Amino acid sequence: MKKIKLAFFDAKEYDKEAFEHAEGRENFDISYYDTQLSPETCLLAKGAKAVCVFVNDRVDGEVIDRLSALGVKLVALRCAGYNNVEIEKAYGRLHVVRVPAYSPYAVAEHAMALLLTSIRRIHKAYIRTRDFNFSLNGLTGFDLHGKTVGIVGTGKIGRVFADICKGFGMRVIGYDKFPAPDSGIEYVTLEEIWKQSDIISFHCPLTNENLHMVNADTIAMMKKGVVLINTSRGGLIDSEALLEGIKSRQVGAACLDVYEEEGDVFFHDFSGHIVSDDTLARLISMPNVIITGHQAFLTKEALGNIAKTTLENITTLLKTGSSPNEICYKCPEFASCEQKHAKKCF
């Protein structure tokens, strides 16, 4: 069988490691590029049938035009979220596949790790004890047991997070645009999430509709001292409003694995450089803000599943013309999709 030429953008060492050992690797001729996909770097995909991209690669109209002019047939996202792809522009020209699930545990467990680190001040204690400072002043936390956690988005990750929270003896309430009757979660309105929760964790995709769902108005509705956890997408939170909420003490702590302007910063080493994003610099300077650089997915299990499913998605789509993991702009309103009987997006 002729090998499939794949141009792999924004490749990191851990990506290469996982893809080089993945099932089906022998069917591919992979060129790894450190650079992100953008109009300027599209040409690297010349001769490739498919491109493989991650969360901050740009797949907008301009990139789609250039890729399809080069003869590329398929964009394979090695992630679940696809807010960086203009899927309406890709329709009929480039197939887009994603990895809808690879380890909801990786992300949900990271969300809990951030929460515990934050409220038990582990990040502060770690630095102190390394300096033989065993003072406990300023390290007082609070019990999770008995607290109310509001989960926005009760899909795969949200539900695992709900189970973890239940294990801690917390009361779990949830909001979802499409509530699942079998989730075992008590559904409330979004307004009730803001009003009742001691902790709010975001596990829904970023869409035009929920961009900045956390803003000055919604922060004002929250309980004083609320802890916000965002492992979903940065754009869900208006960062300036968050900073104001932290300064006014309305927000007690923020645990962020994602940031709305992360595209130019995350996944790169800027130590020793001046970071020009003032909002990010101010957030990092806050003692009650913990930031990880879009790391929630990063477990051995998740990387292995991502590599296996991505390669499978590409072979299946190129062989059969369809894939269960294909997405197009009609997918969010699947009920109205005329192609669903053909199991093809186009």
Residue numbers of the site for ligand NAD (CB under 6 A)?
80-81, 101, 104, 107, 152-158, 175-178, 203-205, 207, 209-210, 231-233, 257-258, 294, 296-297
How far apart are CB 1 and ligand NAD at their closest, in Å?
32
Contact 186, 216 (CB under 8 A): no
Only one residue has tokens 């060129």, namely: 31
Q: For the chain, percent helix, then strand, then coil, each to nearest 5?
A: 40, 15, 45
- By C-beta, is 157 or 227 nearer to ligand NAD? 157
- By C-beta, is 41 or 56 nearer to ligand NAD? 56
Q: Which DSSP string corresponds to 179-218?
A: --TTS--EE--HHHHHHH-SEEEE-S---TTTTT-BSHHH
How far apart are CB 274 and ligand NAD at their closest, in Å?
26
Q: Which residues form the catalytic set?
A: 233, 262, 294
- By C-beta, is 27 or 183 nearer to ligand NAD? 183
How far apart are CB 89 and ligand NAD at their closest, in Å?
20
How far apart are CB 289 and ligand NAD at their closest, in Å?
16
* R_g of the chain computed on alpha carbons: 21
- By C-beta, is 39 or 100 nearer to ligand NAD? 100
Q: How far is CA 321 from CA 23, 291, 315, 328, in A?
A: 21, 41, 10, 14
Q: Which DSSP string corresponds to 56-70?
A: TS-BSHHHHHHHHHT
